[in-house]
Structure 1
Amino acid sequence: MGAENWQEDLDLIRDAARQAAGIAHGFFGRSPEVWWKNEGRSPVSVADFAANDRLQSVLLKARPNYGWLSEETDDDAARLSCETLFVVDPIDGTRAFINGEKTWCVSVAVVHRGQPVAGVLVAPALEEEFCAAKDGPALKNGDPIVVTAGRRDNKLVIAADESLVRKFDPAFREEVHRVHHVPSLAYRLAMVADGRLDGTVVKRNSHDWDLAAADLILERAGGRLQDLGGDRLVYNRTEVSHGMLVAGAQHALRSLLPHLAE
């Protein structure tokens, strides 16, 4: 497939993500019914399932030969035989959603041969939309975005767990400004892509659906998501969870990686 095909897929997933975001937003702030999964560690709401249903019906009707991987659908190993698939999180940041916080989004990616080639994040409560296709620009509400090249005060603005930042050596801690926790991982990566953050550290056990769309958007904005060994992520494997990751502009990665390795 060429760039034109991926642009067609981007148009498709953008429309589907907007529809799903509209459905989810209809539940926002209205105390939707919530259940707990993963032994009570992860919430899921009726809005997650409603958004997931819309995405699945729209996307697989348009591309019946594509595979499917979603946080809210039982995994089907048949996806492993698909060169191309949709990777979906109907609401990334469900905890924020059910608590009435606006930092949640619908995340949809097209992954081809293990790499994202089209990605969309729609955050309806914030009236923000991020998207990118392979070889195209990263856009926020239609305007190009790029990662930071550094800041005048030389501070490194990051999102990271406080317990991790406390382990940095004192001199480096003085160079770091840690922002308040951002519950949606996909949205946090988008904040790196549009320059609000220089970088972020991702704890173990993130999943393909948290990352794939935002990974591409960040890459097209000039940044990078990688493991601590410096390797890009591969999606649509048997195991869809990942170890500790770091994302950022190049200057942020150069600063962070030595301290994370320690």
Structure 2
Amino acid sequence: MTELGARVASIAAEAGRLAMSRWRTDFKRWEKVPGSPVCEVDLEVDSFLRDQLMALAPDAGWLSEETVDSAERLGRERVWVVDPIDGTRDYIRGRTGWAVAVALVERGYPVIGVLDAPARNEHWVAEMGLGARRNGAKIAAARREVLAGARVPADQLPRVDSDLVAVTKPNSIALRIAMVAAGEADLVASLRWGNEWDIAAAILIARESGAAVSDALGEPLSFNSPDAEAFGVLASVPGIHRAAVERLRERALTAIER
């Protein structure tokens, strides 16, 4: 790793320890809007990350789920894109499917991505051009050429996708994408508008593992957009990516029109 990458990984791990120290304890929690939980630990971890990361790269902008957004970031070449606890629902419920997610985005593309998931004893790191690792070991996406039989992190698959295989699904979409990077799943797809902070770090981890990534319609993903949103995400082993886009296209187009 580069010196900067190592420092970002260390800060994310420290943030993970902070979150872990409060996990399964009594803390305040509420809903920002119906169906969108948040807790006081989200805010504590967000504050810690902002202090540490902005000190590390003061020239960078800031985009985080738990910080009021500012258009000032749009004029910056580099931007920190952060979700202090991705998978807050699992965190609040005492489940393990959550992670601290940190990405450094440069000119629209993640160049450093870190997921720290201490409840799962997992620390994921990727740098552009340097590969992806989990707990220090290099990871690689699986090989598959046929969509049928592909492993998908899901609680339940729709009947139309009954030829796919459901595997354990963490609440954190970043961790689901990381499962593709590690060869533990073959396909992750979201067919709705989502926030950049949910996926920026994991997208780099997937790319550096050899996985294919795009939005829900198969178009390239870029980050630090004015709305900080992307229409879905599709991460898969390379051999089935085109087939997955084709299968999901009509559903994706219908979702956009709603």
TM score, norm. by length of structure 2: 0.91
**Corresponding position: 1:56 with 2:42:** no
1:151 shift after superposition: 9.1
CA 1:35/1:228 → structure 2, altered by over 3 Å: closer, same or farther? closer
Alignment partner for residue 196 of structure 1, among 174, 184, 189? 184
CA RMSD of aligned residues (A): 2.0
What is the CA deviation profile of residues 4-47 of structure 1, one whole-angstrom value per residue up to 9, with x for unaligned ones? Answer: 8xx2331221111011111110110113210210x222111111
Identity, % of aligned positions: 35
What is the CA deviation profile of residues 128-168 of structure 1, one whole-angstrom value per residue up to 9, with x for unaligned ones? Answer: 0011101001001001000010399x7211135746x3234
1:12 is matched with: 7
CA 1:186/1:125 → structure 2, altered by over 3 Å: closer, same or farther? same
One-letter amino acid of the structure 1 residue matched with residue 59 of structure 2: N
What SS does the aligned partner of 2:12 have? helix
2:255 is matched with: none
Alignment partner for residue 167 of structure 1, among 127, 139, 160? 160
**Corresponding position: 1:227 with 2:221:** no
Alignment partner for residue 30 of structure 1, among 19, 25, 34? 25
1:81 is matched with: 75
Q: Distance in 2 between matches of 1:29 and 1:110?
A: 30
Alignment partner for residue 117 of structure 2, among 106, 118, 123? 123
What SS does the aligned partner of 2:240 have? helix
Q: Distance in 2 between matches of 1:227 and 1:160?
A: 19
Q: Distance in 1 between matches of 2:238 and 2:44?
A: 38
Q: Distance in 2 between matches of 1:215 and 1:9?
A: 19
What SS does the aligned partner of 2:131 have? coil
- Give yes or no for contact 1:194–1:221 (8 Å, CA) kept in 2: yes
What is the CA deviation profile of residues 110-135 of structure 1, one whole-angstrom value per residue up to 9, with x for unaligned ones? Answer: 00000000010000011100111010
Q: Distance in 1 between matches of 2:5 and 2:171?
A: 25
What SS does the aligned partner of 1:261 have? helix
What is the CA deviation profile of residues 197-234 of structure 1, one whole-angstrom value per residue up to 9, with x for unaligned ones? Answer: 00111131221100110000000000122024322211
- Give yes or no for contact 1:96–1:183 (8 Å, CA) kept in 2: yes
Q: Distance in 2 between matches of 1:9 and 1:86?
A: 13
Q: Distance in 1 between matches of 2:87 and 2:5?
A: 22
What SS does the aligned partner of 2:143 have? coil
Aligned pairs (5 A) from 1:151-166: 155-160=149-154, 162=156, 165-166=158-159
What is the CA deviation profile of residues 47-82 of structure 1, one whole-angstrom value per residue up to 9, with x for unaligned ones? Answer: 111111110111111211110000000001100000
2:61 is matched with: 67
Runs of 4 or more consecutive aligned structure 1 residues displaced over 3 Å after TM superposition? 160-163
TM score, norm. by length of structure 1: 0.90
- Give yes or no for contact 1:16–1:54 (8 Å, CA) kept in 2: no
- Give yes or no for contact 1:110–1:119 (8 Å, CA) kept in 2: yes
The alignment covers a number of residue pairs equal to: 250
Aligned pairs (5 A) from 1:237-248: 237-248=225-236
Long gaps (5+) in structure 2: 251-258
